[in-house]
Every structure is written in structure tokens, then in C-alpha cells.
Amino acid sequence: MAYSWQDVMLGIDIREEGLREQEEARKISEMQAKENTAAGLYSLGLSIIGGSIFGAPGYAFGKMLGRGIADWQYDWEDMELTPGKFYKEEEREYARTKKQAADDQTTAQITQGLVDLGAAYIQSGGLTAEPGEWDPFTFGSGEEAWTVFGEETNIPFTNIDMPGVQLPQDQSLFGGWEKGEGLWQNIKNVAPGIGKKFQSLKPPEVAAGSIADLVN
């Protein structure tokens, strides 16, 4: 069967359009993957900073802010395939699945934000504090309350006091750190307390029948 030059050019156009849309879809997927990576890194860094200054709510809002910044920076949700002439049905299906992925991500972010806020309440001692004892800007409550830095701690390499809520040094994460002790000795001094304090961040376990008892 002989092909005319029009058939040949049509085949070339179809192939080029398909390759172009594949490349555009690849870039969108790449942007989505970059957002996921950035969200994890930003959330980690900002939650550490937030928790160090504002306790449990700072930790939670740092995580949410990190995800929000990544979502703003990598706006793959608004990227689209350039409309073509030959793959209309495939373009519509791609647009539908991409929108579904964007909607699912938004739902997941909202849900995770609510989980983070609930965790912050638990981590700040909201479930264990005695009446009038709860301080939302610390971790734990009562005698078990702690902050990352203690009172009269300066911002590194400055004489400026660390901002935020700070408890006495013996109730801080690095309260056992002593100048002149040396790095290894200080690590041994603070490690047991750090392990114990981080154990307090775990949400209380729910007994097997608790949820059923609430429903019935």
C-alpha cells in the first residue's frame, strides 16, 4: 500500500504530539514528586524550629507550614497538557485523573493538619494535666512538662534570649548540657533525659474495647 506525503506528515504530527504530551505529563509528575520531597524536608525543619520556640503547637504548625510552602512552591495542580488535535480522549482522562490526585492531596493535607493539632494537644499534656495545670506551649504537663531549651538560654552565637516559652533548665531537653564537659560527656549526660522526654510524646494507647464502648 502506497502512502502519500500527506499520510507521512500526518503520522509525523501524531507522533510528535504524543511525544510532547508524554514529556509534559512527565514534567507534571516530576513536579509532584519534588513537592512530596520538599514537604517532608520543610516540615521536618520547621517543626523542629517551631517546637523549640513554641512547644507542641509550634511543632504542629511547623509541620503544616512546611507542607503549605511546598504546595505553593510546586504548583503542579495548575499545570496542564497543551491541547492537541489527535489525543482528545487521552487528554480528558489525564485531566480527570490529575484533578482527582490534586483533590486527594488537599483532603490528605486537611486531615493531616487535624491529626497534627490533635497530637499537639496530647503532646502538650492536654489529656494528663490537672485542672489549671495545662500549658499548651510546653511538652507534657505538671512535673513532667518540658521545653527544648531552658530559661536564660541564648540564641547560638548571640547574647539574645531564646524566644518563646522556656521552663527551668532542669525541665529542658538539654538541661544536662554543661559547658566545659566535652561533647561526648554531654551527650551521655543528656541522652537518658532525651529518650524519656520523647517517650512522653507518644499518644496514649487506646484499649481494644474503648471505641466499641463509646459507640454502644
Q: Looking at residue 199, what is its pLDDT?
A: 61
Nearest to 144 by CA among 117, 116, 125: 125
Q: Looking at residue 204, what is its pLDDT?
A: 45
Residue 212 has pLDDT above 90, yes or no: no
The whole-number average pLDDT for the span 96-125 is: 91
Q: Looking at residue 150, what is its pLDDT?
A: 72
Nearest to 52 by CA among 192, 190, 172, 183: 172
Percent of the chain having pLDDT more than 70? 75
Task: For Cα atoms 24, 25, 30, give the angle at the middle one, nearest 5 degrees.
Answer: 95
Question: Residue 175 — φ and ψ, nearest 5°?
Answer: -65, -25
pLDDT in tens, 24-49: 889 999 999 999 999 999 999 999 88
Following DSSP, what letter does each residue of 18-33 receive, concatenated? HHHHHHHHHHHHHHHH
Distance CA 141, CA 46 (A): 23
3-7, 124-128, 184-188: least confident range: 184-188
How sure is the predictor about 74, in pLDDT bands with cuts at 50, 70 and 90? very high
Question: Residue 64 — φ and ψ, nearest 5°?
Answer: -65, -40
Torsion of CA 55, 61, 62, 64, to 10 degrees: 150
Question: Residue 139 — φ and ψ, nearest 5°?
Answer: -100, 135
Which residue has better confidence, 19 or 65? Answer: 65
Half-sphere CA count of 133, side-chain side, radius 13 A: 15
56-60, 172-176, 209-213: least confident range: 209-213
